[in-house]
């Protein structure tokens, strides 16, 4: 059996590039009809984003996936002084002071704040960025595997709940099948009484009565729906046992089951008697069970 995955999961891994950069790569997954990737990376990681998207598409199928990269830089910083530029500003200041007859010396603090005079640079930059890309990409597959561990556990739990739901549907169907004959008998007697009223007490021939009953029975018979319901339930359980990517296929089967439940309710809505009322109750319970199963299936990959 292939694992069944829920689309809900979370995991994170830490890595480092030598002693200068540490990072945390995390992944969060929730349900979505398709594969919907959202990456939150530092602004300097445009090239990394392209590679990350490619790897994620190769390892994931469905879900709203959020991947976040947090980088912690511990690089040594050196202050660089542009001595030539500072000297040029000082010389320009003194020339201007002499030209205008002003006796003043330049303010060194103000000079140092002039753009370009001083700068702070981290040791190693580009080489470390390249090393960061490789280190992050090496954690993608392990991170997906860690997320899938949790998703597989939840998927197994959902599969067990869905199997139990199918057993309940099957029991509802079997009870309906047992109640059908009683409904037919009540409908037959109602038809006989109605025809007697319409003919003002004149006896109705058995042939005509049987013909009318046959038409009524055909309109209200739910045998075909019960057979299809059994088939859909059996197929549903087999698919759960096979595992794999099931979300969309199981949702389609549940739509078919809901259609059968609606048809059975429609066909039996005009009948009377305790059996008919119970069939209506069973149909409503079926629809509630199917709706619950559809909510669970929405979270399967």
pLDDT at 127: 40
Neighbours of 141 (CB within 10 A): 12
Average pLDDT of the chain, as a whole number: 82
pLDDT at 125: 44
- Return d(Cα 200, Cα 75) in angstroms, integer: 104
User: Which residue ranges of the chain lie beneath pLDDT 50?
Assistant: 123-128
Instruction: Report DSSP letters for 98-158, one per residue.
Output: HHTT------HHHHHTSBTTEEEEETTHHHHHHHHHHHHHTTHHHHHHHHHHHHHHHHHHH
Write down all domains in the chain, each with its CATH number in brackets. 9-73+130-151 (3.30.230), 80-119 (no CATH), 153-298 (1.20.140)
193 phi, psi to nearest 5 deg: -65, -40
Report which secondary-structure segment, H or E, holds 1. none
Structure-block tokens of residue 28: 């969060």
pLDDT at 150: 92
pLDDT at 206: 60
pLDDT at 115: 84
* Dihedral class, residue 201 (left if φ above 0, else alpha if ψ from -120 to 50, else beta): left
Question: pTM above 0.85?
Answer: no
B/e letters for 244-277, b = 16+ CB within 10 Å, e = fewer, are: eebbeebeebbebbbebbebbbebbeebebebbe
pLDDT at 192: 58
> Coil, strand, or helix at residue 12?
strand
Report which secondary-structure segment, H or E, holds 46. helix 46-59
pLDDT at 124: 45
For 51-68, what is each residue's pLDDT tens digit? 999 999 999 988 999 999
Which residue from 232, 213, 210 is spatially nearest to 221, judged by alpha carbons? 213
DSSP state of 35: E
pLDDT at 47: 85
For 212-246, what is each residue's pLDDT tens digit? 555 555 555 777 888 899 999 999 999 999 988 88
Distances (CA, A) of 165 to 68, 158, 161, 269, 289: 37, 10, 6, 25, 7
Asked if residue 268 lies in contact with residue 222, where contact means CB atoms within 8 angstroms, the answer is: yes
Residues in the chain: 301
pLDDT at 130: 65
């Amino acid at each position: 059996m292939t694992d069944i995955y829920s689309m809900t999961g979370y995991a994170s891994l830490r890595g480092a590039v030598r002693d200068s950069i540490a990072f945390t790569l995390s992944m969060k997954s929730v349900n979505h009809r398709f594969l919907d990737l959202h990456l939150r990376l530092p602004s300097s990681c445009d090239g990394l984003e392209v590679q990350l998207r490619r790897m994620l598409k190769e390892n994931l199928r469905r879900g709203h996936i959020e991947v976040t990269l947090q980088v912690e830089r511990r690089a040594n910083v050196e202050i660089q002084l542009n001595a030539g530029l500072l000297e040029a500003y000082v010389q320009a200041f003194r020339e201007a002071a002499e030209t205008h007859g002003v006796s003043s010396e330049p303010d060194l603090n103000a000079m140092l704040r002039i753009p370009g005079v001083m700068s702070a640079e981290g040791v190693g930059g580009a080489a470390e960025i390249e090393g960061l890309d490789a280190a992050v990409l090496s954690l993608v597959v392990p991170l997906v595997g860690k997320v899938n561990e949790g998703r597989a556990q939840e998927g197994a739990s959902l599969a067990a709940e869905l199997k139990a739901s199918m057993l309940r549907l099957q029991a509802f169907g079997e009870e309906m099948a047992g109640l059908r004959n009683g409904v037919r008998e009540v409908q037959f007697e109602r038809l006989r009484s109605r025809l007697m009223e319409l003919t003002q007490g004149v006896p109705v021939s058995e042939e005509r009565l049987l013909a009318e009953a046959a038409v009524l029975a055909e309109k209200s018979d739910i045998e075909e729906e019960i057979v299809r319901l059994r088939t859909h339930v059996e197929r549903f359980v087999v698919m759960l046992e096979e595992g794999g990517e099931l979300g969309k296929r199981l949702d389609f089967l549940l739509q078919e089951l809901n259609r059968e439940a609606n048809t059975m309710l429609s066909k039996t809505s005009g009948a009377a008697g305790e059996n008919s009322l119970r069939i209506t109750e069973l149909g409503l319970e079926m629809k509630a069970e199917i709706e619950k199963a559809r909510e669970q299936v929405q979270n399967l990959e």
